[in-house]
Structure 1
Amino acid sequence: MLTHRRYSLKWRLTLFFSSGMLVLLLFLSIFIFFSTSNLVHQHEQKLLNQKATAIAADLKTEITEEASLTIAYLTRLLTNYADVNQYINISDQNGKEIASIRGANWTKEPEEYYERTLVAKEPVQLPFTSELLFVQISTTTEALEWYFSILLTILFLSSFFTLLLSAIGGYWLSNWGLKPLDHLIQQIHSIFPQRLSQRIHHHHVETEIYELIHAFNLLLDRMEEAMVYQQRFVTDASHELRTPLSIIEGYVSLLQRWGQHKPEVRNEALAAVEQECKRLFKLIDDLLSLAKLQHTAQLDSSKVVQPLTPLLLEVKQAWEPIFPPQIKLFFEWEEALVLFMDRERIRQLLDILLDNARKYTDKGQVKVRAYGDEDAVHIVVEDTGIGIQAKEIPHLFKRFYRVDKSRTRKRGGSGIGLAIAQAIVADHEGSISIAPSAEKGLIVHVLLKKAGMD
């Protein structure tokens, strides 16, 4: 299926910057054009007012008697002030026109959107009459058409080149600003599964790029650790599976050579094969259990709030007959312990801890204590076994880890039990720790979140 490829960050930043600049230039050009046109019109209005005042003053001087108020005489006076774009008239107080003169280019309505009609009106008081005359000049700004055309051309060209330069500059700046990111991408492409130890350099880079590189290097650390752990797990699992298979293969060969004629050899071989098969099944079950726990982590579908006492009683009844006479098993618990738990998983946890305590304790006792505090339930399994050195304790929860492989194999351990126990506790949002005991054995301390009963 084809996927839509998005534009690169460089082009999107350039487009964003250019769009912002376009909007800014548009508003700026509109503001400049209308501000300038208003200033020009105000100046033209001022000149028109001055002209109306001058005509009124001349009329006072030229008209000294009522006989001069004829259309021909007044028209001749107005001709001295004629303009091709203006209309000048003289009217009385009632608005009746006495005389007028119209320019060749005068039009009452402006033809262009940036043209206006300007009007100036000035009263005239003649010496021989008490009535007022009015001089009115009307003009259009058609003569300014060339000016506004030049202004529009300048605004368009300046905006175009500014927008072009901003687009080029925006692309250059984004290209320059994202150059560390391009370099980072090249380094990431150079990392292969066979070269996970390689790290990305983060010298002399911006804070954001530094944080990104640092986070990616931490991811590589986790990936490398996971791959090393996986390789070690595969190697150890292969070794664990190979050992019983080698034993089985040896006894099968022995059966083929001597089993038909020597019953004691046949019985020994069959018993050994059966034991190693059980060991294989146990190892496979442990691996499947660990994988299932990791796959279903954070799923609480099988967890319910329930008391812990019945489970402890069940575990006690199941394990007391299994322990040999030289090892005493003690249980001690409080009655009012309630957990939000998967009962089968907690039973599996207790079985793992008791099985380990039994295997690595030659004589003495194993004591299980369960008690609660304000927020948590504590389960402590303490034995008087062979113990281990303190430096080995942090490694006990690793899969297939053994302090002494030959001794552990002799006692029947696979090295997965504590890893399963830790996964169960983690799934219940608890914690598990191991410490040496005063009796040279070990103390396993499990802490689980307490739940209240409805």
Structure 2
Amino acid sequence: MKSLAQKLWVSLCLFLLVTIIFAYFLSDYLYERLYVNNVEAELITLGEQIRKDYEGGVVPDSFIKNVEWLNSKTPYEVFAVRNPRELSACVPFDIDYEALIGPNERTELLANVTVTKVGFEERFGRTLVSVVVPLLDGDRLQGIIYLYFPLVNITELTSNITWYWLFGSFIFIFFVLFIGMKAVQVISRPIEEMKKAAEKVSEGNLSARVTVSSNDEIGQLAQSFNEMAEALQKEDQRNKNFLATVSHELRTPISYIKGYIEALQLNIISEEKRDDYMMIVQRESQRMEKIVGDLLELMKMETAQFSIEKLPLVLAEIIRQSLDNVKPAAEEKGLFVSVSLDEELIIFGDEGRIEQIFYNVFSNSLRHTVNGGISISLFAEGEFAYLVIEDTGSGIPEQDLPKVTERFFRVNKARSRKDGGSGLGLSIVKNLVMLHEGELKIQSRVGEGTKVTIIFPLFVDKSS
């Protein structure tokens, strides 16, 4: 298989070959169009000028002698004869009278039309251009003026400059090949670098980069490659961190379960504590199940395998359904739940997923609130529905706010493990909100509480 450089060289050589062939045919065309036509035009012009001296009647001897004198002064051969058959005595080659002036040509001459002929003459070894100008007296052809000129071959025209042409051609080819070689190197070098870098990336070396030396398409391709490699490197590091975090998150409940089961199997605990140990094992098992379940769901959301079924939904109804699931926990902790809802707001979404968003946010607010409670308000601004959830909880440090929607991020890790949180809730919420073309905003102050704002586009009935 040919390399790119080889293909470029072949293309360059083909280009030169096509250029040479084109130059040859162009020169032949110009020879035909310019040189031949120019000679023909000059012969016709000269013949027309000579005919002006003819005054009619029988062509006088003085007119013929004047033409003979003119013949010695011009580069063309010019003859005037009363009868075309007399031409054979004038020209130094065999002339076919019937071919020169046949019925068609005679008709044209009688119509006072100049006749031109172009043909190869063996005696001269070159093409002959001839012109026949009629000498008419009324409707009678009294004689003709015959002009001809043997064309110079194109090789004869260029004979004096052949060596210059060859030398110039050599210089031209040398410079074209030299410049072509440099161009091939310039073009192929970054591509070769990208090839080597791609091989390194495929082998697992995601730090491989290429040098961006231009702003053209190849330079943009190199820049895109670097950006791709950087993205892959970040994603690889993210996956490593994610796997490390997953391992860490699962290690704790697994170690709990393993330790308590071994204690139960070895009967090293009292009967009154067996139930407590079993509850701990059950709790940690449920926690593992929740982590794995949330993780699988989150991974599906980030792929094309996840889909939602959207329908027009009344937001206030779904908010109430979600609150019914968390109110017992709020009452148990003695927290208030304040609600202010616009009953007419409708969005286009998946009911189950919208309820999942609300449940996660409501339960998360209640989990981190000890005194006071949460207030929930739903209202419209422009073409969007705003759901605002404010709590009086412990709050989130300002430096942690950008990270709270990351997978497994916890502001208070010890507390989250105790209450069984997976650390994936807000990540799931963020992805579900984005799938509904919405926006999630979180504001918080330590010791004062947290404000979560969820924005959805309002449903517009296009059928009406």
Task: Tell me, yes or no, whether TM beats 0.5.
Answer: yes
Cα distance in 2 for partners of 1:427, 1:322 equals: 29
Partner of residue 147, structure 1 = 153
State the TM-score, normalized to the length of structure 1. Answer: 0.76
CA drift of 1:57 comes to 9.8
Structure 1 residues 96 and 421: alpha-carbon distance in aligned structure 2, compared to 1, 3 A threshold? closer
CA drift of 1:40 comes to 3.1
Bigger CA drift: 347-356 or 192-201? 192-201
Which residue identity does 2:248 align to in structure 1?
H
Cα distance in 1 for partners of 2:253, 2:176 equals: 72
- 1:221-370 to structure 2, matched below 5 A, reads 221-258=230-267, 262-296=270-304, 299=307, 302-323=309-330, 324-370=332-378
Partner of residue 431, structure 1 = 439
Which of 26, 29, 38 pairs up with 2:27?
29
Which residue identity does 2:194 align to in structure 1?
I
Gaps of 5+ in 2: 101-117, 121-125
- SS of 2:34's equivalent in the other structure is helix
Which residue identity does 1:41 align to in structure 2?
E
Contact 1:89 1:137 (C-alpha < 8 Å) held by counterparts: yes
Q: Does 1:106 align with 2:95?
A: yes
Partner of residue 399, structure 1 = 407
Cα distance in 2 for partners of 1:25, 1:414 equals: 78
Partner of residue 67, structure 1 = none
Which residue identity does 1:440 align to in structure 2?
E
CA drift of 1:46 comes to 6.0
Bigger CA drift: 239-248 or 25-34? 25-34
Which residue identity does 1:415 align to in structure 2?
G
Contact 1:53 1:122 (C-alpha < 8 Å) held by counterparts: no
Gaps of 5+ in 1: 64-76, 125-130
**Cα offsets for 1:155-184 (capped at 9, x unmatched):** 9x9799799668736743531441553464
CA drift of 1:224 comes to 2.0
Structure 1 residues 338 and 21: alpha-carbon distance in aligned structure 2, compared to 1, 3 A threshold? farther
Contact 2:291 2:422 (C-alpha < 8 Å) held by counterparts: yes
Partner of residue 374, structure 1 = 382
Which residue identity does 1:37 align to in structure 2?
V
Structure 1 residues 353 and 62: alpha-carbon distance in aligned structure 2, compared to 1, 3 A threshold? closer
Structure 1 residues 220 and 151: alpha-carbon distance in aligned structure 2, compared to 1, 3 A threshold? same
Q: Does 1:117 align with 2:130?
A: yes
Contact 1:425 1:432 (C-alpha < 8 Å) held by counterparts: yes
Partner of residue 197, structure 2 = 188
CA drift of 1:87 comes to 10
Partner of residue 14, structure 1 = 12
Q: Does 1:408 align with 2:399?
A: no
State the TM-score, normalized to the length of structure 2. Answer: 0.75
Q: Does 1:448 align with 2:456?
A: yes
Which residue identity does 1:430 align to in structure 2?
G
Partner of residue 90, structure 1 = 81
Contact 1:22 1:163 (C-alpha < 8 Å) held by counterparts: no
CA drift of 1:258 comes to 0.7
Root-mean-square deviation over aligned CA pairs: 4.3
Cα distance in 2 for partners of 1:371, 1:62 equals: 114
Structure 1 residues 399 and 418: alpha-carbon distance in aligned structure 2, compared to 1, 3 A threshold? same
Partner of residue 61, structure 2 = 59
Structure 1 residues 281 and 206: alpha-carbon distance in aligned structure 2, compared to 1, 3 A threshold? closer
CA drift of 1:14 comes to 3.0
Bigger CA drift: 270-279 or 31-40? 31-40
Structure 1 residues 99 and 436: alpha-carbon distance in aligned structure 2, compared to 1, 3 A threshold? closer
CA drift of 1:438 comes to 8.9
Structure 1 residues 16 and 311: alpha-carbon distance in aligned structure 2, compared to 1, 3 A threshold? farther
Cα distance in 1 for partners of 2:2, 2:349 equals: 47
CA drift of 1:374 comes to 0.9
- SS of 1:214's equivalent in the other structure is helix
